[in-house]
Amino acid sequence: MYLKADDIHAYISGDIIECMASSDNVIRAGFTPKFQDVNTLVDILTYDHDPPEQQLLPATAYPFVKLNAAAYSSGSSAQLYDPPIEEFAVVRTALKRAGAKATFEPLAGPSIVLATSGSGTISVGPTQEQIKEGWVYFVGATAELVLENASDGDDELVTFRAFCEIDAQANGSS
């Protein structure tokens, strides 16, 4: 789901990760023990909205990943959610059984990987670490990323990778 700036939202149910552009204007009005500023929220809201079918982002197959035989045969996938903004995109990877592996081509910018279920290994360049539900990793630009499900049985390893591609000309490189 993609929401524009100044659109109100609340999460009621479902599997949710929130990825947002850099901002200093998070304003809360309910469902949280954190500071709430209802008056400011009411003042800044646009009170405009798109229909749900325009807010839902279609998932597309992520083209820059290679799945091994165990991943293919189990129906594992890497799905891209690409909002209509430049700040970031998100890839959801579901490795459906032990031994399923996804090898991602290096990106031109940084990313973070969040595991929401299962366990396995994460390799960034030559370094391999354990990954499991609730763990988050930083992946630097130009590093190959490999995720592998190392669970017992048929437990699924699900990760979300939020990334930003950096334009080489924008940062002074050629």
Structure tokens at 57: 């982002």
Q: What angle do CA 51, 54, 55 make, to 5 degrees?
A: 90
Compute the distance between CA of residue 62 and CA of residue 71 in angstroms, rounded to an integer: 14
β pairing state of 111-117 and 119-124 = unpaired
Active-site positions?
A: 28
Closest to 145 measured CA to CA, from 41, 46, 62, 26: 62
Structure tokens at 72: 């293919």
